[in-house]
Structure 1
Amino acid sequence: MNMGTSMSKKGEHNYSATVVWTGNSGDGTKNYRAFSRNHEITCGNKPIINGSADPAFLGDSSRYNPEELLLSSLSACHMLWYLHLCADAGITVSNYTDNAEGRMIETNNGSGHFDKVMLKPIVNIGADDDSELARSLHDKAHSFCFIANSVNFAVECEAEIRCG
């Protein structure tokens, strides 16, 4: 059984995911346009994530693509660290929305890579909370983010802090 995550020894966390290609329309990968890029992602008993490729690579625009999932992972990890740090610092966050953006560059050989991600969180904090401290905690969250620490491209943050 796929458990999704487990802890083996102190400080070590192991994760698992199952990705199943569901896009065989009968001829398999006979040619590049003969198959769908659709697939399903599962982690244990959690709901299925319907995936595909980016439409630029013949994917289904109604499904999540790996690039969107990478961007979402960076955004979510930053947010979770930020909320933790605000709670520890006595800052009350009442709302947090990130409109993250990422840029992937295709190379001449057909491969590609992300070269930049910009997180753009809009954070509402309590009227009496320290907005400068709230702003500075984004830097600390970034330094702690497991996902940002695992990628080889720039992850930047332009946060907007709203009091009240």
Structure 2
Amino acid sequence: MPKEHIYRVSTVWTGASQGTTSSYQSYSREYTASIEGKPLFVGSADPTFRGDRHLHNPEDLVVIALSACHMLSYLAICVRNRIRVIDYSDEAVGKMAYKDGKMKFIEVVLHPKVIIKAGDDLQSAIAAHHQAHQECFIANSVAFPVLNEPVVLEFNDPQASNLKNF
């Protein structure tokens, strides 16, 4: 595996077509981000900062990246440990606040809910969340705590019988 990975993104402020930055209240925060060979991504600022609430914002992307990276790390660990994951979901929550005189993320809490095949090692499946956190490239790159509060059930668990309510 290469020791270095490069990711290239082209970001364009498309809001320029709606006018210049003549005042904080009036300019559009809309932008696109493109990566060769992938669908176009359209984003904006958070509504708190006069952005479009219908578009993704950079803060959303930080939380999505942490949640997805943890999930992908977890699934890889489960494969290596012969734990068969049937279902995985997460309701991640990022919190920003003023700290040290700056608005910043102060924590992200992941709430992964996992169902594994009955008979697989439940304790190992639970412990794999700690290892996933240690292996997650994104969590290793941020300067705030990333916590996880996982729930792991076996498929034959009565609570897991209806995956939609899990």
Output the TM-score relative to the length of structure 1: 0.90
- Runs of 4+ aligned residues of structure 1 deviating over 3 Å after TM superposition are 106-109
Identity %: 43
Alignment counterpart, residue 127 of structure 1, candidates 115, 118, 137: 118
- Structure 2 residue 41 is the aligned partner of structure 1 residue 44: no
Output the TM-score relative to the length of structure 2: 0.89
Which ranges in structure 1 are unaligned for 5 or more consecutive residues? Answer: 1-8
Matched AA of 1:142: H
Aligned to 1:140: 131
Structure 1 residue 27, shift from structure 2 partner: 3.3
Query: Structure 2 CA distance, aligned partners of 1:40 and 1:143?
Result: 32
Answer yes or no: is the 8 Å Cα contact 1:37–1:53 preserved in 2: yes
Answer yes or no: is the 8 Å Cα contact 1:25–1:35 preserved in 2: no
Query: Structure 1 CA distance, aligned partners of 2:24 and 2:76?
Result: 46
Aligned to 2:10: 18
Query: Structure 1 CA distance, aligned partners of 2:70 and 2:100?
Result: 32
Structure 1 residue 162, shift from structure 2 partner: 1.4
Q: After TM superposition, list the pairs within 5 Å mapping 1:99-114 onto structure 2.
A: 99-106=91-98, 111-114=102-105
Q: After TM superposition, list the pairs within 5 Å mapping 1:61-80 onto structure 2.
A: 61-80=53-72
* Structure in which a larger fraction of residues adopt helix: 2
- Structure 2 residue 155 is the aligned partner of structure 1 residue 159: no
State the superposition RMSD in angstroms. 1.5
User: 1:85-127: CA deviations, max 9, x gaps?
Assistant: 0000000001100100010114696x41101000000001001
Structure 1 residue 48, shift from structure 2 partner: 1.1
Query: Structure 1 CA distance, aligned partners of 2:132 and 2:48?
Result: 33
Q: Secondary structure at the match of 1:15?
A: coil
User: 1:15-35: CA deviations, max 9, x gaps?
Assistant: 111111111255310111121
Which ranges in structure 2 are unaligned for 5 or more consecutive residues? Answer: 156-166
Query: Structure 2 CA distance, aligned partners of 1:106 and 1:32?
Result: 21
User: 1:31-74: CA deviations, max 9, x gaps?
Assistant: 11121100111111211111000000000011000000000000
Q: Secondary structure at the match of 1:32?
A: coil
Question: Could you tell which deviates more after superposition, 45-54 or 18-27?
Answer: 18-27
